[in-house]
Structure 1
Amino acid sequence: MSYNKLIQIDGKLVDPIRRNVITEVDKKSPADRAGITVGDRLVKINEVPVKDILDYRFLTAAERFTLTIQRSQGEETREYTVSIEKEMYEELGLNFASGIMDKASSCSNNCIFCFIDQLPPGMRETLYFKDDDSRLSFLQGNFVTLTNMTESDIRRIINYRISPINISVHTTNPELRVTMLNNRVAGNLYPRMQQLAAARIQMGAQIVLVPGYNDGAELERTLRDLAALHPYVTGVAIVPLGMTKYRQGLPNLIPFTAESSREVIHQLDELQQEFRLTTGSEFARCADEFYCMAGIDVPDEDFYDGYSQLEDGIGMIRLFRESIAATLEDLAPGSGSFSFVTGTSAHEEIRQAADQISQRNPRLAINTHRVLNDFFGHSITVAGLLTGRDVLNTLKQGTVHDHLIMPRNMFRSGEELMLDGVTIQDLERELDTKVLIVDYTGENLIEQMNQAMAP
């Protein structure tokens, strides 16, 4: 399934991905100086056909190379060669409609825990697309399973030094991985990771933990296998199975409870003592959600090794807490009113931060709103999966102050749009408030509040 849109160039509709059509040329860049223009098509670099972003990035890193450009003039199309001279690793300056210059590879698995399979009908079409593309892993940090990659694809990663890549491991037990991913070729993961490690390609690993499948002894086996590939496997993120209320026709899985969450944390505590000796760090860490469900406080700051796994929900609470403590003295002495909104799992943490801020500046009116996830089901407790409609329904039942503070992960990356299409403008209009989007750092929160209080 493709979500690529045709674009109009010189009065013609063209597929910008299939044709490598250039949609923008950075001003004063080497490409701009060479006379390349929007609408040109990049065909080859040093006589090598350009398949995708990997070819482009690798072949344009040099100081000197030639481009084969195709240009349409009326009904005629001609090719010409351009010689480029630039600084090593200087950006060439070409931009394309797709970040990978190709259609993203879709997932060939049917994982028993897949969150996309648990989406209700009627949402935006792009939400149902499952990507499994190593190029997106390199560019955006997406996780890939490696199941749809050929040996040629692996060799390209090695030859082009595409590193790091993030891998959805789940288990290194071949038979169990075939079962969990419902893919007969899923069991070849570990040999491929060994091949990448031998080539010194760095890998981040993620495990979606499913009770009764890859937990307990299977989790220990997987973590020991991955630790054996350190330092090329840089770390492991362990996240809990997410279950929405839309699981009709899907496998009957068991959600995590407070007790089973505590068991996972205690199991990791023992293994981490070993990993500190063999890898120099904890190596494998649980997402904050495990600690919230277990009722156990998150570890100290040193545990998170510079917060390198924040995108997996690991260390967000500790970072927020430490940032609040470090920047609270920067809070302005002005007045204002603020409402904080979050999901169930982080609500107590946000409430405590609001209390600290109020104590520092009593002239501020602050309240917090805990939003239950009616859309996906109450078992989904993280803020990043809340919908705009649930936020609106909850806040309309209480007092919303002049400024509504919302975490950035409630919105699509780079956009002002929530999962169900509700926009910031919708929220401001229906709640009669000003929305402030903040990072998960206390520093950004204090900064945004100060700006809102400024005369």
Structure 2
Amino acid sequence: MTNGRGLAVEGVAPGSIAAQLGVEPGDRIADINGQPVEDILDYRFLTSDEELALVLIKPDGEEWLLEIEKDFDEDLGITLAGGGLGPTRRCQNRCLFCFVDQMPPGLRPTLYVKDDDYRLSFTQGNFITLTNLQERDFRRIIRLRLSPLYISVHTTNPQLREKMLRHPRAGEIMSRLRQLAGAGIALHTQVVLCPDLNDGVELERTVEDLLSLGHAVRSVAIVPVGLTRHREGLYPLRTFTPGEAREIVERVRRWRDRCLARREEAVVFASDEFYLLAGVPVPPASHYDDFPQTENGVGLVRLFLDGWQEVARRLPRQMSRPRRVTVATGVLGEKVLAPVIHRLNRIRNLSVELAVIPNRLFGEQVTVAGLISGGDILAALRGKDPGQPLIIPPVMLRRGEAVFLDDMTVGELSRKLDRPVAVAEGPAELAAACLGRPLPEEIS
């Protein structure tokens, strides 16, 4: 919530309802239809009505009562300061596997922030644990119908969850999930799986408990714990072996087949990392429902491979002049991209090198492309093939910005490597970047 009573107005769209009524930046929205406006969730919920009585506070303290008639869900044209959320709710847990606790020093401050905010779960798909919520928060979630929510479950064993999250209310997870499910809140859940801790029979219990909630649980994603080299003094954890990854994949296959038979949805998914580690094919697209957890690394490989099949049919047979490029990825990405690079190299006059970048920032046991820093790329490629274009995926960068985890920009990397750097998202952009020109349209 912003300082003072109500939410601060940051902008007003010209010609909008708000502009016509004299709303200006710096005003505050105190309440709507007699209800206080705590944040943008209240604002959106309350302004969906057709008739509004809105109390506006001017900078000099004068209060205006605006009576508004509008179409259902018609926008008032108001932009709220700070996105209308105010301070982020922080995590109260001390999870044994927390990735933030394994971050090296010296990175940008926002990377060390631990959020556990149900509002961000609803608006952005962030995962929350429910441990920092009071009864009024649950009532508000239900009253505002904040659905779906994304819940980090990890285990449904009360004692084990208290141990893993190190929070006294962590063991209440199933009663809280039942409360939300009973109110019609859809739930996307995740299990960060730690060997010898919440796997095996504990994982069986967790998935069975979650499936017992019926259609309220829309998805269960099982993802492996991420470990860096910065774990001094932390709980002893290890990564999964390829054999253990194959066991996880097989368990998920059985759950998925059962769910497909019972409710025609897969529901339970293993992250792509498990399939790549196990060395087994990822399932076809039909087994990923509507791809509910791609942000969690579930199904991205399948989407890429299916997209590549379409792109491969549009590739030229040869280039008019020789061209050499480099494509950078992480260790796991090599397994996905190797056949793609092989196909591109069949184009006459095109030479594509796949550069697998070791992770120096977090440690070489971190193998995903999304955690590679600009410094990692610089260390691996400095002095090699100056002038030759380098192609990177956008997962290496801060969302919406050309900045790596270590705050190096794409421009800085380009200057230090003495070569152009291009960002390519998806198969079509990757192929176009390698070719140096757009792909031809597919001819039906």
Q: TM-score range by the shorter chain?
A: over 0.9
> Which residue, 347, 359, 364 being the options, matches 2:334?
347
Offset at 1:137?
0.5
Contact 1:17–1:103 (8 Å) recurs in 2: no
Q: Secondary structure at the match of 1:235?
A: strand
Over residues 51-100 of structure 1, what are the superposed CA-to-partner deviations in whole Å (9 max), with x where a residue is unaligned?
1122111001112212222222xxx3322122333321233322223234
Offset at 1:341?
0.8
Q: Mean alpha-carbon deviation: is it higher for 412-421 or for 16-25?
A: 16-25
Distance, in Å, in 1 between the alignment partners of 2:4 and 2:274 is 41
Offset at 1:450?
6.1
Partner of 1:69: 56
Question: Structure 1 pair 164/100, CA: closer, same or farther in 2 (3 Å)?
Answer: farther
TM value normalised by structure 2: 0.92
Distance, in Å, in 2 between the alignment partners of 1:343 and 1:442 is 17
Question: Structure 1 pair 63/404, CA: closer, same or farther in 2 (3 Å)?
Answer: farther
> Which residue, 249, 259, 265 being the options, matches 2:249?
265
Q: Which amino acid aligns with 2:275?
A: Y
Distance, in Å, in 1 between the alignment partners of 2:386 and 2:265 is 44
Partner of 1:132: 116
Runs of 4+ in 1 over 6 A off after TM superposition: 15-18
Q: Which amino acid aligns with 2:7?
A: N
Contact 1:17–1:98 (8 Å) recurs in 2: no
Offset at 1:107?
0.3
Question: Structure 1 pair 338/82, CA: closer, same or farther in 2 (3 Å)?
Answer: farther
Alignment of 1:167-178 (within 5 A): 167-178=151-162
Offset at 1:401?
5.6
Offset at 1:432?
2.7
Distance, in Å, in 2 between the alignment partners of 1:50 and 1:229 is 33
Contact 2:359–2:376 (8 Å) recurs in 1: yes
Alignment of 1:265-284 (within 5 A): 265-284=249-268
Offset at 1:159?
1.1
Distance, in Å, in 2 between the alignment partners of 1:326 and 1:22 is 47
Alignment of 1:184-263 (within 5 A): 184-263=168-247
Distance, in Å, in 1 between the alignment partners of 2:287 and 2:93 is 34
Over residues 97-121 of structure 1, what are the superposed CA-to-partner deviations in whole Å (9 max), with x where a residue is unaligned?
3234221110000000000011112
Q: Which amino acid aligns with 1:434?
A: P
Q: Mean alpha-carbon deviation: is it higher for 402-411 or for 248-257?
A: 402-411
Q: Secondary structure at the match of 1:180?
A: helix
Offset at 1:277?
2.2
Q: Secondary structure at the match of 2:411?
A: helix
Partner of 1:116: 100
Distance, in Å, in 2 between the alignment partners of 1:101 and 1:323 is 37
> Which residue, 279, 294, 297 being the options, matches 2:281?
297
Of all paired residues, the percent bearing the same amino acid is 39
> Which residue, 384, 395, 401 being the options, matches 1:415?
401
> Which residue, 103, 125, 128 being the options, matches 1:144?
128
> Which residue, 138, 142, 147 being the options, matches 1:154?
138
Partner of 2:371: 385
Distance, in Å, in 1 between the alignment partners of 2:51 and 2:422 is 47
Offset at 1:411?
1.0
Contact 1:416–1:423 (8 Å) recurs in 2: yes
Structure 2 alignment gaps of length 5 or more: 440-444
Does 1:406 pair with 2:392? yes
Distance, in Å, in 2 between the alignment partners of 1:145 and 1:381 is 26
TM value normalised by structure 1: 0.90
Offset at 1:276?
2.0
Q: Which amino acid aligns with 1:62?
A: D
Does 1:24 pair with 2:11? yes
Q: Which amino acid aligns with 2:193?
A: L
Offset at 1:16?
6.6
Q: Secondary structure at the match of 2:83?
A: coil
Q: Secondary structure at the match of 1:367?
A: strand
Offset at 1:259?
1.7
Q: Mean alpha-carbon deviation: is it higher for 135-144 or for 302-311?
A: 302-311
Question: Structure 1 pair 166/83, CA: closer, same or farther in 2 (3 Å)?
Answer: same
Partner of 1:107: 91
User: What is the root-mean-square deviation in Å for CA atoms of aligned residues?
Assistant: 2.1
Contact 2:383–2:417 (8 Å) recurs in 1: no
